[in-house]
Each structure stands twice: as structure tokens, then as C-alpha cells.
Amino acid sequence: MPGLLLGDEAPNFEAETTQGRIRFHDFLGDSWGILFSHPRDFTPVCTTELGRAAKLAPEFSKRNVKMIALSIDSVQDHLSWSKDINAYNGEQPEEKLPFPIIADANRELAVKLGMLDPDERDKDGMPLTARVVFVFGPDKKLKLSILYPATTGRNFDEILRVVDSLQLTAYKKVATPVDWKPGDSVMVVPTLPDEEAKKLFPKGVFTKDLPSGKKYLRYTPQPE
């Protein structure tokens, strides 16, 4: 079945975009990357999403994350649509956005990456592209996948939050608990022995008492 699983390497596809032709691995370089897809241009939910993504572009840039979108229409349509997106944001209706949009008119890339929504179809009966979020690490491997149906808009604040979690946990032996936000306490991974945890986390490791008597809820202040 087409699609990407966690840990899979991103295909090094070539595509036409609003910023010229790209080869995906070259586009990512040594950065993290987010690829997010859209059912088509000039649709209401997509316009709000790309507007929000454009507003948050500086935040993603601070995190060394390159953004790239995909929609099934042509580059020329993407450029025209970009004017609407900028106008939605209350800015000058320019063709340029702070990230490229891939043209995927024949849905080849959407099929290859497993992005189609079987329940939502266009006027010709073709499945729409779902709202996928793929986050890739600097090693070009898939670190996170969120698949929304075509009818449900994404929460880009949540996408920023999971990027913060992915980047923290990629380099520190911690996990982030439910509803974690940057600056909150984190959890020590279960595979780390207590003595090693004490050395790694000089701010202290705190265990929550549980009826089972098991000491598996180990917290520490977020490491630098």
C-alpha cells in the first residue's frame, strides 16, 4: 500500500513548485522539514491553513524547519491562490509565500505518499488529497505523521508543539507527557537506569507515587 511509515526515508522526488523545480532531499538539506498537503487550490479551509502557516513561518525557521506544501493544481494556480492567501492575512496580495507549493495535477505524488482521502471526492469522482502533515528529520526519515480528512483543518500551534517535542526528544533521553508545552517538566525514558538518570539530569529526577508501587513515572525539569 502506498504511503510512508515512521522511520521511512522520504522519497527523493522531483517536482515543480512555486519556487522552481526541486529535488526533495536537496530542498531539505540539513534541516528538519514539514510537508503538508491540501485537497486543492482556492478552497476555504486550505486558504486559512496556508495563511496560518505563512504567519508562523518565522517560528518554524527558528527551529531549523523548512516548510513545503502540496496541492493538486498547477504552479500558475498556486501563484494566483497565493495572492488570496496573503490578502486573507491582511497583507499585500503578492504571489510569493514564505514556502513553496508543489504542483501535483495528476496526483502522482499524493498517491505515492498515501495522501488520498477515500471518503471525499471531487466533481469528477476522484479522491481528494487528505490533509497530511509529514515531519522529517535532518536524516530525511519520517519522524511524525498526522493524517486529517479533507474536511478538517489542521492546528498549526499543535504542529509547532510536536516539532518542539521531536527536536527535544531526538537529542535528550526524555519523553514529553500529555499536553506538554516547552518549559514544562518532561519524563525520563523507561530504558534509562536511575543512576544514569541522576547523572544526566542534575536538576533532579522526581518520581510520582502510585498504588502499584512501581516507580515508572519519573519527571525532570526540561533539559537545556
For residue 168, CA distances in Å to 37, 48, 114, 163 come to 25, 29, 28, 8
Amino acid found at 175? A
Q: How far apart are CA 73 and CA 39, in angstroms?
A: 9
List CB contacts of 146: < 8 A, sequence separation 6 or more: 132, 133, 154, 159, 162
**Of 46, 109, 128, 142, catalytic:** 46
Chain-centre distance of CA 29, in angstroms?
Answer: 16
Q: How far apart are CA 216 and CA 220, in angstroms?
A: 13
Residue 160 DSSP SS3? helix
Active site residue 109: no
List CB contacts of 165: < 8 A, sequence separation 6 or more: 176, 180
Active-site positions? 46
